[in-house]
Amino acid sequence: MSNELMIRKIIIISKTEESSIEVPLTKGLNIIIGKNKTGKSSLIKTIFYSLGCELKFDEDWERLNKRSIISFSIGDSFFLVERMDGLYTLFSSSADLKTVSHIGTYTYSEFSAKFLELFDINVTWITKNGDDKPVAPPYIFSFQYIDQDKGWNSIAKSFDKLSYVPNWERQIIKYIVGYQNEEYFMLRKKLEKYRILIREIELKIKTVEEFVSNILLRERQNNSILNDKNTIDDDFEKSHRILDQLTSLEKERISISNQISQLQNEEYEKKLVIGALNKYSEELVADHLFASNLEDSITCPFCGVVHPNEISEKSELIKDVQTATNILTSAIVDLEMLQREIESFQNRSTDIDFNYKKIKQELRLLEKNTNAINTLKNEGKNDLINTSRLEIEEIKNERNEYLGIKETTQNSIKGIESGTRRNNISKNIIMLMSTLLESLELKGNNVKLSNFLPVLKHTGSELPRVIYAYYISLYLYNLDRSDNPFKWLVIDTPNQQGQDDENLDNINKALELLMDLRGQVVVGTERLTGAEETAANVVRLMEYKRCLTKDNYTEHIKFLNLLDQKKEEQELEPKRE
């Protein structure tokens, strides 16, 4: 199955403005031309925002009451996604969008998992407890976008709120260049599983060996043996019961640690939703205050349409504020419940630690004060020791089997992570970068990569050129690899203000390398690039702060109604049953 991604359309619809825009995109080079404040960057950011990334939009764009739909394909399958704050609605569609079907509406974490499932991507972050957490789209696509403001000074820093995973760039780049493939992540998951199993078994072996060792020590210290078989049996049974309790507590400790980790992830996502709701509520309050201080009509600054602003409209704003407050309150209540649940598990974890130490001490006291040694017949003593030793041998055999699997898995991982493969990949990227830097009038012979990331020691106008060359080299490198979701790149060039002509010309020089129809490149620019005649697609935005028009509004409203209808139909299906 091909997992190559292509963005097909950006559709923005505003019912309040009664206007819309549809931006078609194709394979090859797509150029979106528009001067400052024509909506160019906001349209580009909408692609990534709809796929779960956090970005900073222009304030005017944030205030615009709109709905945004992204049409995209994965291989031969077609999809639509609409993001509204913390919820993502996903549809399957035909290529011409005439037929659509609602797949589902998801939270951020649910959408992330579903999105990676569509790509058949199994990349995960592996935690120290052996848990695997799916990698969210912002991490996967952090090397596919150069932001107009933040992207030209550093690598993979165009998205916000990516600090959840430390050093994530150094981890995810290995997957993006194909060094760590799908097989690697499955092997890593398997390896962590057996590491935990081996650790549990070795803990049990150590406990049983300590018990036998203490029996033998008491035997050497005291040769006075009495005949009290009942005491022997009681101590033997009690010792085994304590060992079982210790093993059970250790497993419960691991289970609770996993649950706490999962709940903390949910807590993080809930805080993101609350943040978005807070912002939305504040904007509604600001809208109400703004409308309250105006006359009975408002003239739109974007299209000039006059909207009523009478008591009924102002009342609707108050209702919106109340609704937003209720939703926010509900989200906060959910967060508090989550935090209480986390605290409960943490308290339970503390209790387990206390009980574990207490029972371990009980075992030591039992071994110290037991009458088994002092009253044991030689035959009974030997049976007790031999039984324990047989148990140790059985556990060791199980451990040795796991060690064999662990070693085989480690060897497979070493094969994937071979130095030869690493050097070949780095060499190919460096060759591409060197060629690009020479065309950008920089010497390419001093390019250095560390863990497939460029070492950025350049200053001034050299820095953005090196960053630009790296992103393009990564894109061109992935074009020549078999199926992968990284055969696309979005470049939002810097504002002309503060940029010298030479630097902007250098950006345009590399565009001739991005015509390949095996991939997709979207470039946002404020001026002509010289590649418009040969580009696969050119979109021109002409009006200041008015990229939405009335040209196709009626058609787009029908399409929006179709999506809402399909969503409502599916949501009603379980109720009908």
pLDDT of residue 92: 96
Q: What pTM was computed for the model?
A: 0.67
Least confident of 104-108, 256-260, 418-422: 256-260
pLDDT (tens digit per residue) in 274-297: 887 777 777 777 766 776 766 666
d(CA 384, CA 372): 10
Residues 175, 186 contacting (CB under 8 angstroms): no
530: left (phi over 0), alpha (psi -120 to 50) or beta: left
| pLDDT confidence tier of residue 228, bands split at 50, 70 and 90 | very low
Pick 222 or 439 by higher pLDDT. 439
**Is the confidence at residue 315, as pLDDT, over 70?**
no
**Is the confidence at residue 6, as pLDDT, over 50?**
yes
Q: What token pair was written down for 48?
A: 């990534």
Closest CA relative to residue 356, chosen from 245, 207, 205, 199: 245
Q: Which residues contact 300 (CB under 8 A, 6 or more apart)?
A: 16, 17, 306, 307
Closest CA relative to residue 520, chosen from 27, 10, 9: 27
pLDDT of residue 72: 96
Pick 53 or 296 by higher pLDDT. 53
**Strands in 244-371 per DSSP E:** 297-299, 306-308
pLDDT of residue 31: 96
Report CA 129 to chain centroid distance, whole Å: 19
59-63, 126-130, 302-306, 475-479, range with greatest mean pLDDT? 475-479
pLDDT of residue 306: 63
Q: The tokens 């009038």 sit on which residue?
A: 441
What is the CATH code of the structural domain delimited by 5-180+419-576?
Answer: 3.40.50.300
Q: Which residues contact 424 (CB under 8 A, 6 or more apart)?
A: none
Pick 139 or 416 by higher pLDDT. 139
140-144, 228-232, 336-340, range with greatest mean pLDDT? 140-144
**Is the confidence at residue 534, as pLDDT, over 90?**
yes
Which value, in Å, is the radius of gyration of the alpha carbons in the chain? 32
pLDDT of residue 132: 66
Pick 164 or 161 by higher pLDDT. 161
Q: The tokens 């609704």 sit on which residue?
A: 323
Q: The tokens 């150094």 sit on which residue?
A: 170
What's the rounded mean pLDDT across residues 349-372? 73
The type of residue at 482 is S
Least confident of 2-6, 267-271, 304-308, 398-402: 304-308
Strands 124-126 and 132-134, by their bridges, are antiparallel
| Percent of the chain residues past pLDDT 70, beyond the cut | 82
pLDDT of residue 520: 96
Q: What token pair was written down for 45?
A: 């950011």
pLDDT (tens digit per residue) in 468-516: 999 999 999 999 998 788 999 999 988 754 455 666 677 787 898 899 9
Mean pLDDT (the chain, rounded): 81
pLDDT of residue 144: 95
pLDDT of residue 373: 42
Closest CA relative to residue 384, chosen from 520, 239, 246: 239
pLDDT of residue 502: 65
pLDDT of residue 380: 54
| pLDDT confidence tier of residue 227, bands split at 50, 70 and 90 | very low
Q: Which residues contact 460 (CB under 8 A, 6 or more apart)?
A: none
**Cα–Cα distance list, 210 to 196, 367, 468, 539 (Å):** 21, 10, 62, 76
**CA quadruple 26, 29, 32, 36: dihedral sign:** positive
pLDDT of residue 226: 43
pLDDT of residue 205: 78
Residues of the chain with CATH 3.40.50.300: 5-180+419-576
What's the rounded mean pLDDT across residues 173-193? 82
Residues 80, 94 contacting (CB under 8 angstroms): no
pLDDT of residue 203: 81
**Cα–Cα distance list, 510 to 157, 438, 441, 467, 473 (Å):** 22, 10, 11, 13, 11
Which residues, listed in sequence order, are joined to residue 9 by a DSSP beta bridge? 24, 71
pLDDT of residue 192: 78
What HEC string does 491-546 produce? Answer: EECCCCCCCCHHHHHHHHHHHHHHCCCCCEEEEEECCCCCCCCCCCEEEEECCCCC
pLDDT of residue 375: 46
Strands 100-106 and 453-454, by their bridges, are unpaired
